[in-house]
Each structure stands twice: as structure tokens, then as C-alpha cells.
Amino acid sequence: MAIHMPILIRRCDAVIKMDLIWLSNYAISFLLILILNFVLPRMMPGDPLHAIYGEEALISMTPEMEAEIIKRFALDQPWHAQLITYITALLSGDLGYSYYYRTGVTDVILGFLPWTLLLTGLAFVISSSAGVILGIESGYRRGSKLDGCMLSGMMFLGGMPDFFIGIVLLLLFGVTLGWAPLGGAVSPYAGHEGIDLVLDIAHHLVLPLISLVLVQIAPTYLLTRNAMLNTLRARFIMTAKATGLGEGAIRYRHAGRNSLLPVVTAMGMRVPNMITGTLFLEIVFSYPGVGTLLNTALSARDYPLIQGVLLIVTVTVLTTNFLVDMTYVRLDPRVRYAR
Amino acid sequence: MLEISGLRARYGEHEVLRGIDLMLEKGDSLAVVGESGAGKTTLGLSIMRLAGARLEGNMVFDGMNLLELSDEEMRRLRGDRMAMVFQNVEDALDPVYTAEEQVCEAIAAHNKWSRERIRERARALLTAVGLDEMRYQLYPHQMSGGERQRVLIAMALANDPDLLILDEPTASLDALTKADIVELLRSATSDRISIIITHDISLASALSKRMAVLYSGMIMEMGRTADLIREPKHPYTRGLLRSFPSMNTTKDLQGIPGRTIPRIGGCPFHPRCTQRIEICAREVPRPEELNGRLIACHRGGIVPLLEIRDVCKFFSSFPAVSHVSLTLYEGETLALVGESGSGKTTLAKIIMGLIEPDSGEILLEGERARWDAGFYRRVQMIFQNPKESISHRLNVLQAVREPLDVQRIGSEEERVARAMKALESAELSTDPEFLRKYPHQLSGGEAQRVAIARALVMHPKLLIADEPTSALDPSVQAKILRLLMDLQERMGLSILFITHDIALARKVSDRIAVMLRGSIVEEGPSGEVLREPAHQYTASLVECASICTRMAWETHVLD
């Protein structure tokens, strides 16, 4: 064993080195986003103050407020001082001041973000797992009736725009049948507590969640099914069969597990798409999430708020991608060492 | 213990196996050889019922009819009582699990043991197949082909199966790894029923006691492996052996003409067979057993073309040829080797009917030779000195068509056409200028080719070539010999090759007969005769040839 130790250590070194490179990629992306966020308003023609806050906000501003803002963003300082101020502010969680809500952007976003996270997170988990499981089952039964029905159903769903499904569901279950509330995340002034509050939240969540899941399930399903068809042709499936493994083990432990790899990659890439979907659906269901917030900010031309939302969204996308990458590495040993 | 009868496998309309009968007892090892597409792998998978084809017939394994078992019963047999080792292709193992995990899974599929016990057994198996302990936790992509093959073998042996099917277990391995794996498989296959599916004859001979040659889903020949390799009786088996590079054969590689044509009537091999007759295209041959050898061929295997039975010839009281018996089979080259004056040419002349033997008989295709026109249509001879054997008064075209003129075969146009074709077969020019040339205007190589074309124009079955290349440059000699071997491959020409050059005989002949003072002192497959000469005289001939080569080499090196 002693003789082999140096080899092991060397291999660990290599892995750590690869990890560092990989992490630094994320760091660089993050920095680039920050810099863009910093540079863009300052590159607009005219006064950065105008660029950041917009004409309308400035008209209604008192000179004291204006001076306060200039001081706060160090707009009278050279650019490197501005950058340092910007980064320090960010690090302390200061995304600027929302002129529309008359409070810090961070506070505003934090009030809306949990609902979006709840909706998107749940939709992501449900659509991914359901898509994968349906894809595996459907691919394994290729050519059967079940496979055919699922395939055409999914193609149909996948072709619909997300807000459209949202509107249809809202009209059907909300307006016509009255099974679900028409909007919001909780019943206002109901004073629910404990389990009642949870049920109330779920009641409000169910329609937007279903809409989002229905739209998002199709691509995962199609990709999984396709990956299954390819994996089932691989030789190790025959090896597994010859070993006398049961159907379940072959379907999930071998074929399914291997089909997951491209699906996970695609999941990461689907996150931005999913977030846009959420933004639309939130508006359809007047769900108090970041989408609705962005909508408000856009109509009020509250530029700091818009920027803050965009920054948070990009950071979320980046984080999800990071998590997906981590998952992929756990799933595929070939990437673990080749990364 | 495994009895297969009338096994047929169909993918849709396409019948991949057409009635396989096999009977294997514990301890038996059977190699299934054949070209790709012969149905070898389908046979292996069909026994495991994994082929995905529609199966018919009977497969009785240990008293159970495999075709009647439920899927679940079959699953419980697979990997437990019967196992399969697959080729170590890149994805034969699941890329996301380690070697140990995959072996553990194979054990756990049939045993409800504790994790520790399974792990212990898996590790013991991996050690037994010779995998380094450091490599148990590796993933398939981190292992070499040989290591992956070992893991696949460990998985198959996981539950100590009674029936082990090996599908190309050493393909794509380098020679040294292959030797290791073969060694491992030899011990793994003992005491079970093993079926080795391969196109590698050397692997088949290392691992099997019996061998079955599969072609288009039919067993063409089956028998003891050693016998089959030493003396193939089916034309297809011989073709396979001739195309396989082996350390035991010395003849240059030859292929099998054409390619497998699926879905044809009659004997599946008949379009490629050089000894086919009319019935071959009409009826499927039934396998028949003769002296422990099973052959499916309407002609009973490779037919003897020329039989020399106890021929003697005395010149006054001197025995030029004494008690010579030889058999020459369809499509083979028999080299008659011996020094000058040993009676080789006399024997050739007796066969050609130029000299009357004192006793004994010559049979051509089972009938006594009458040396009539019919005989010379089937037997032709090429002589040592072509310029003397072709009349100097005939130009090339006249010389080549002369045999047709003599035998009055075909019309004027047909004779010219056949002559042209013969010239083309002999790789000669057919332009009018060349056709008008006379022997003295030809080079030695050209003249010999004209002589060959003249012999070929009759479409003979047997060619007696008496020192056909001794007057030629080595480069021309090589081309002429290549030509003869190609003709043999394409048309099944039998050649009696008379030479004193054992090095030459070694490269062109399937069998060698050594002649000394009018008698055949030794006869056998060329590789065998040269490797272990039984007769002192053969040994000295081989020795002389080797000394010449060695001296040439030493001179070269010392320079």
C-alpha cells in the first residue's frame, strides 16, 4: 500500500486542481455579470444618474435626495472608486434604492423571492422527476400503446406556450369551476395559522404549479425517452439481462441511470427558460413573486429594482447550473475524473 | 445436460438459425465458428433466450425445456445456472458502476446474502480472475480491455453456472493479454458445459474439444476440434481455415469466393462453393454423421478428385514408381516433393496417361481414368519449360485455343471468346498485337502464363504442374503462383504441384507428399510435415532448406 500512496496523492492533487479550474469558471461568470451590471448604466449616454434612475424619477426628486444618491453611488468619484463602492454595497446586500416602493431594493426583492422560489423549485422538482420516470417507463415500452399515448400527449403539451396553459387552467378551474382561487399566494386577511396556512398556500399554489409542471415536463420526458432508447441498445443492458437481473433493476439501475446523464445536463440549461415561464405565469395568476415584481418595476420604470431583479435571477441561474454540474459529477464517473 | 434439437430463430421473416441440433454433457466444450452473420451470437443468445427472435424447436437444459419456461423462471436461470461472457467492447459494462459493484450485483441477483458476504464473494471472484486489488473500485472507462474482460468473466462465474457461453471472449485483446485470458478461461470452462462463440480458430482450438462450423444458421460441419482443423471435410470449413492466419499452416492465406447471400434456397453455401452440383441449389443438405464427424453437404464433404491406387512402374527392373497411393481432393494443392530422379515426373506422366503403369489404377472423380477426351477436359498439365511445351509454329491465340480445336468444343466465336477469357484469367494482354506473337517473342513469364492459359481454356478441375516456375525469375514465379492460388480460390482448381523446392511447396500447398526412390515416404498437412518430419529424408530436406536460408541470413548479417 505504501508504494501506491504517492500515486493516490497525485491523483487527489489532480482532482483538486480540476475542481479549482471548474470553480473559477463560475467565479469568472459571476464577475462578468457584476461588471456588466456596473458598466451598462454607466455606458449609456449622458449622466449615469439619469441612466440609473431615469428621467421621471429624477423630476420628482428633491436636490437633497439627488445629492444623497450621488454620494451613495460615488458618482462624482473616478470609475475605480465607483466600482469599489458598488462592490462593497453589493457585498453588504445593498442593491440600491427602489424609487417606486420607497425602500431598499434588497428588501423589496426579499419580500417577493420566497414565493417564486417555492413555485419554481417545486415545479422543477416535480416536472423533472415525473418527466424522468415517465420517460424511462415510456422508453422501456417503446412502441406500446402506453408509449404512443404518452408521446403524443407530451408533444401536445410541449407545444403550448406556458402562459396559455396558465390562462386555460385559470379559466377552467378558477373561473368556471371555482375550485381554486383566482390569484394571490394566500387569502388576504384570513389570519390562517399552522396547518391551515400551509393548506391555504397550497390551494393558491396548485394552479400555477400545475401549469408550470405541465409545460416543463414535456422536454424532460422527451429527452429521457430518447436517451432510454439509446441506452437500451448499449451492450451493458444485454450483460445485465444475462446476469439475470429483474426488469426493475435493468430499467432503473442500468438503463434509467445512464439515460439520466443527458437529461441532467439539459435540466441546467432549462432553468433560464423555466424562470421566464414563471415570470409570465406569476402575472397570469397575480402571484406575488419576482415576476409580478419585475412587471411592476417595468411599468414604473424603477430601474434599480429591475437591475436588482435581473441580478438575482442571473445569480439564481448560475447557482442552479452549479448544482446541476455537481449532480452530474456525482452521476457520471467519467466526468468525475475527466473534468 | 443441454440438448438442442431443431432450433430455429427468426427475426421477422429472416431465419437466422435453421435447425440446430446440439447435445452437450457436463465437461463438454463446443466452439461455434463461422463468419460474421452466420448466426453464432444469435445461437448463444437464443440459448439464454435473450435473442429477441422467435424461437422454435426444443432446448432442454437439465430436464427443463427452456422454450416453455416463463420469463421469470428463465430470469432465475440466467446468471445462476447459465451465464454468458460478452466481448469486452467499450460498453459491455455499465459505465456508472465500479467493477466490484457490478460483480456484487451479479451475485445479489440470485442470492439473499448479507452485503458483507456478497462483497467477500465478489472480491474472491475478482482475485480469481486475476484482477489487481487496486482496481476493484475502478470504473469501466478506467480499465484496459483485458481488465474489463476479466470483470465480465467474474460476473459470469458469479454463481458458479453449469452452462457458460463465451461470445468472442478475446476479440480486440493484444496477444499477451489474450494468452492470459485464454489460460483463465481454460480453467473456468472445465467441469461445466461451455460454448465458445468465435471466429478465431486458435481460440476455438485452445478452449474446445468439439467444434461446430456455422454458416447462414446451419451447422455445416461438426466434430472433434483437432480433427476438424487438421482435416476439414466441408469446403466451407476448409475455406475458413485457409483464411485464418495460424502458426500451424504454412500456405499463403486464401479467402472464400463471394460473400454470404442471405435467404437463398438449397444449401446456403452453394453460391460460394466450388464443387456445387445441380442438387445443391435445390435442396437443403441434411447433416449426416460419419466416423464422429457431422457434415451437411450433398457431396458428402470435399470430394476426392484424383485417386492414385498402388501404382507401380518399372523401367526394365528399376522401380521408377513403386506402390504409390495418393488422393487429391477438390480445390486443394498437393505438393509432390523429392529430388531429381525420385519418380515425380514419371508419376505425373502416368496420371496424364503418357506412360502406362505396370500395376495399380488411377481414378478420376471415382471412375477409372480412360484417358479419353473427357479425361483431358478435366485434367491439364503445365510443364517445366513453357517455350518447349508450346509449339513454336503457333502464335499466342492459336496456342491457347488449340485444345478447344482438338476437342472440337464450341463454335469458332466461342473458342476465341474462351481463349480470351483464359488469357485474362492468366493476367495476360488480349490486344491483337500480343495475340499474334510467337513463343520466341515472349518472355519466360509470359510464355508460362500462355501455357497456363492454354491449360485453363478447358476449365479443368485438376492441374498437374511439373516444376512450373523453376525456369522463372523469383518475381515472376511469385506472380504465377499467386495466380494459381487465386484460380484455386475462385474455381476450386486442384493442383498437383511437383517440385524439388520444399520452401516453395510450403507456401502453396495444403498437403505435402515426399517421394524418395519411387515411393511416397511421408504425407500429411504441410505445416505438420515441415514442423515434425516423420521420415529421415523429409527431415534432411527441411534441414537443407533451413540451412540455405540461415546461411543467406548470416552472410547478410556479417556483411
Q: What is the pLDDT of residues A113-143, one digit of tens each?
A: 999 999 999 999 999 999 999 999 999 999 8
Of B75, B86, B134, the CB nearest to A239: B86
CA distance B335 to B499: 7
pLDDT at A49 over 70: no
A245 and B152 within 8 Å at the Cβ level: the answer is no
CA distance B429 to B435: 8
pLDDT at B496 over 80: yes
Looking at B295, B318, B345, which one is the last position of a domain? B295
Of A243, A333, A337, the CB nearest to B96: A333
CA distance B104 to B154: 10
A244 and B110 within 8 Å at the Cβ level: the answer is yes
CA B27, B30, B31, B37 torsion: positive or negative? Answer: negative
Closest Cα to residue B374, out of B244, B282, B462? B462
Question: Is residue B459 located within the same domain as residue B521?
Answer: yes
pLDDT at A7 over 50: no
pLDDT at A52 over 70: no
Closest Cα to residue B191, out of B236, B223, B161, B230? B161
When pLDDT is cut at 50, 70 and 90, the band that residue A9 belongs to is very low
When pLDDT is cut at 50, 70 and 90, the band that residue A2 belongs to is very low
User: Which residue type, as a one-letter code, is found at position A96?
Assistant: G
Closest Cα to residue B480, out of B447, B509, B503? B447
Q: Look at residue B120 in the predicted model and tell me its pLDDT.
A: 95
Question: Is residue B315 located within the same domain as residue B393?
Answer: yes
When pLDDT is cut at 50, 70 and 90, the band that residue A5 belongs to is very low
Alpha-carbon distance A234 to nearest alpha carbon in chain B (angstroms): 6
A249 and B105 within 8 Å at the Cβ level: the answer is yes
Q: Look at residue B357 in the predicted model and tell me its pLDDT.
A: 92
Taking CA–CA distances from B48, the nearest residue in chain A reads A242
When pLDDT is cut at 50, 70 and 90, the band that residue B16 belongs to is very high
Least confident of A181-185, B429-433, B465-469: A181-185
Task: Read off the C-alpha cell for A105.
Answer: 431594493
Interface A:B, Cβ pairs < 8 A: 75
pLDDT at A302 over 80: no
Mean predicted confidence (pLDDT) in B206-229: 94
A333 and B139 within 8 Å at the Cβ level: the answer is yes
CA B84, B90, B96, B98 torsion: positive or negative? Answer: positive
Question: Is residue A118 located within the same domain as residue A90?
Answer: no
Question: Is residue A189 located within the same domain as residue A300?
Answer: yes
| Number of independent structural domains in chain A | 2
Question: Is residue B308 located within the same domain as residue B423?
Answer: yes
Question: Is residue B483 located within the same domain as residue B552?
Answer: yes
* A4 vs B contacts (CB less than 8 Å): 134
pLDDT at B453 over 80: yes
Higher pLDDT, B390 or B364: B364
Closest Cα to residue B437, out of B406, B399, B472? B399
Question: Is residue B553 located within the same domain as residue B493?
Answer: yes
Instruction: Judge whether B428 lies within some domain.
Output: yes
Question: Is residue A144 located within the same domain as residue A210?
Answer: yes
Query: Whose grid coordinates read 401549469?
Result: A211
* pTM of the predicted model as reported, rounded to 2 decimal places: 0.82
Question: Is residue A162 located within the same domain as residue A260?
Answer: yes
Is the distance from CB of A34 to CB of A83 less than 8 angstroms?
A: no
Taking CA–CA distances from B51, the nearest residue in chain A reads A238
Instruction: Judge whether B287 lies within some domain.
Output: yes
Average pLDDT, chain A: 82
Q: Which residue segment(s) compose the domain that A168 sits in?
A: 114-332
User: Which residue type, as a one-letter code, is found at position B543?
Assistant: E
For chain B, the 3-state helix, strand and coil shares in percent, each to the nearest 5, are 40, 25, 35
B77 touches chain A (CB under 8 A): yes
Task: Read off the C-alpha cell for B206.
Answer: 485452445
pLDDT at A61 over 90: no
Instruction: Judge whether B126 lies within some domain.
Output: no
Least confident of A306-310, B65-69, B536-540: A306-310
B86 and A4 within 8 Å at the Cβ level: the answer is no
Q: Look at residue B237 in the predicted model and tell me its pLDDT.
A: 94
Question: Is residue A39 located within the same domain as residue A187?
Answer: no
Mean predicted confidence (pLDDT) in B171-189: 90
Average pLDDT, chain B: 90
Residues in Cβ contact with A170 at an 8 Å cutoff, skipping those fewer than 6 apart: A182, A207, A284, A285
Mean predicted confidence (pLDDT) in B289-300: 90
Question: Is residue B330 located within the same domain as residue B371?
Answer: yes
Question: Is residue A182 located within the same domain as residue A59?
Answer: no
Question: Is residue A118 located within the same domain as residue A202?
Answer: yes
Instruction: Judge whether B66 lies within some domain.
Output: yes
Kindly report the CATH number assigned to the domain that includes residue B410.
Answer: 3.40.50.300
Question: Is residue A308 located within the same domain as residue A246?
Answer: yes
Question: Is residue A177 located within the same domain as residue A87?
Answer: no
Q: Look at residue B143 in the predicted model and tell me its pLDDT.
A: 92
Instruction: Judge whether A179 lies within some domain.
Output: yes
Instruction: Judge whether A180 lies within some domain.
Output: yes
Residues in Cβ contact with B416 at an 8 Å cutoff, skipping those fewer than 6 apart: B397, B401
Q: Look at residue A146 in the predicted model and tell me its pLDDT.
A: 93
Question: Is residue B278 located within the same domain as residue B363?
Answer: no
When pLDDT is cut at 50, 70 and 90, the band that residue A13 belongs to is low
Question: Is residue B259 located within the same domain as residue B346?
Answer: no
Instruction: Judge whether A103 lies within some domain.
Output: no
Task: Read off the C-alpha cell for B260.
Answer: 454470404
Residues in Cβ contact with B319 at an 8 Å cutoff, skipping those fewer than 6 apart: B312, B313, B517, B518
Question: Is residue B326 located within the same domain as residue B365?
Answer: yes
B95 and A332 within 8 Å at the Cβ level: the answer is yes
Range B294-315 burial, b when 16+ CB lie within 10 A, else e: bbbbbbebbbbbbbbeebbbee
Question: Is residue A70 located within the same domain as residue A119?
Answer: no
Instruction: Judge whether A212 lies within some domain.
Output: yes
Mean predicted confidence (pLDDT) in B300-307: 92
Q: Look at residue A4 in the predicted model and tell me its pLDDT.
A: 44
CA distance A16 to A23: 10
Question: Is residue A88 located within the same domain as residue A124?
Answer: no
Looking at B263, B295, B327, which one is the last position of a domain? B295
Kindly report the CATH number assigned to the domain that includes residue A179.
Answer: 1.10.3720.10
Least confident of A229-243, A321-335, B29-43, B349-363: A321-335
Contacts 24+ apart (CB under 8 A), B450-453: B450/B386, B450/B390, B450/B396, B450/B399, B450/B400, B450/B423, B450/B426, B451/B382, B451/B383, B451/B386, B451/B389, B451/B390, B452/B382, B452/B426, B452/B480, B452/B483, B452/B484, B453/B400, B453/B419, B453/B422, B453/B423, B453/B425, B453/B426, B453/B428
Taking CA–CA distances from A259, the nearest residue in chain B reads B96
State in Å, rounded, how far the first CA of chain A is from the last one.
27
Instruction: Judge whether A1 lies within some domain.
Output: no
Cβ count near B263 (within 10 Å)? 9
Q: Which residue segment(s) compose the domain that B171 sits in?
A: 2-81+161-295
Higher pLDDT, B262 or B66: B66
Tell me: the pLDDT tens digits for B82-136?
Answer: 999 998 888 899 999 999 999 999 999 999 999 999 999 999 999 999 998 999 9
Mean predicted confidence (pLDDT) in A267-289: 87
Question: Is residue B318 located within the same domain as residue B264?
Answer: no
- Mutation pick from A15, A239, A251 vs chain B, by most beta carbons of B within 10 Å, is A239
Tell me: the pLDDT tens digits for B236-247?
Answer: 999 999 988 887
Instruction: Judge whether B123 lies within some domain.
Output: no
Looking at B243, B264, B295, which one is the last position of a domain? B295
Instruction: Judge whether A220 lies within some domain.
Output: yes
Least confident of A221-225, B69-73, B257-261: B257-261
Q: Look at residue A123 in the predicted model and tell me its pLDDT.
A: 92
Alpha-carbon distance A235 to nearest alpha carbon in chain B (angstroms): 5
Question: Is residue A198 located within the same domain as residue A265?
Answer: yes
Looking at A66, A94, A122, which one is the last position of a domain? A94
What's the length of chain B? 559
Q: Look at residue A15 in the predicted model and tell me its pLDDT.
A: 59
State in Å, rounded, how far the first CA of chain B is from the last one.
65
| Number of independent structural domains in chain B | 2
Residues in Cβ contact with B54 at an 8 Å cutoff, skipping those fewer than 6 apart: B9, B10, B11
pLDDT at A313 over 50: yes
| Strand partners for B56 | B8
Query: Whose grid coordinates read 407545444?
Result: A159
Mean predicted confidence (pLDDT) in B350-359: 92
Q: Look at residue B232 in the predicted model and tell me its pLDDT.
A: 92
When pLDDT is cut at 50, 70 and 90, the band that residue B25 belongs to is very high
Question: Is residue B269 located within the same domain as residue B371?
Answer: no
| Strand partners for B523 | B513
Strand order in the sheet with B519-525: B379-382, B462-466, B494-499, B333-337, B511-516, B519-525
Instruction: Judge whether B27 lies within some domain.
Output: yes
CA distance A188 to A190: 5
When pLDDT is cut at 50, 70 and 90, the band that residue B556 belongs to is low
Instruction: Judge whether A232 lies within some domain.
Output: yes
Tell me: the pLDDT tens digits for B393-426?
Answer: 889 999 999 999 888 888 989 999 999 988 988 8
Instruction: Judge whether B255 lies within some domain.
Output: yes
pLDDT at A192 over 80: no
Question: Is residue B310 located within the same domain as residue B327?
Answer: yes
Instruction: Judge whether B504 lies within some domain.
Output: yes
CA distance B244 to B160: 33
CA distance B164 to B156: 8
Instruction: Judge whether A6 lies within some domain.
Output: no
Of A236, A242, A254, the CB nearest to B50: A242
